[in-house]
Amino acid sequence: MIDLDDDSEIVKIDLLVGHTSAIRAEPINTHNPPRTHDWEVYVRSADAHGDLSCLIQRCVFYLHPEYPNNKREVNVTQFVIQESGYAGFHLPIEIFFRTKKDPKKFRIEYDLDLHTNVEGHPYHQKETYVRKFRCTFYDPDPDFRQKVLAAGGKMKDIDTVSTNNNDSNVEEESTSPPAPASPPSESDRDPARPGRDLKTLF
Could you tell me if residue 3 is inside a domain?
Answer: no
**pLDDT band at residue 5 using 50, 70 and 90 as cut-offs:** low
Does 122 sit behind a cis peptide bond, omega within 30 degrees of 0 on the bond before it?
no
Could you tell me if residue 52 is inside a domain?
Answer: yes
- Percentage of the chain modeled with pLDDT above 70: 74
For residue 167, the model assigns a pLDDT of 57
Could you tell me if residue 2 is inside a domain?
Answer: no
- Higher pLDDT: 188 or 84? It is 84
Which structural domain range is residue 180 located in?
A: 10-197
- Higher pLDDT: 195 or 22? It is 22
| Mean pLDDT, rounded, for 154-161 | 67
Q: Give residue-wise pLDDT tens across range 34-81.
A: 999 999 999 999 999 999 999 999 999 999 999 999 999 999 888 999
Quote the number of domains for the chain. Answer: 1
**In this structure, what CATH number is given to the domain that contains residue 21?**
2.60.40.1970
Q: What is the pTM of this model?
A: 0.76
Could you tell me if residue 110 is inside a domain?
Answer: yes
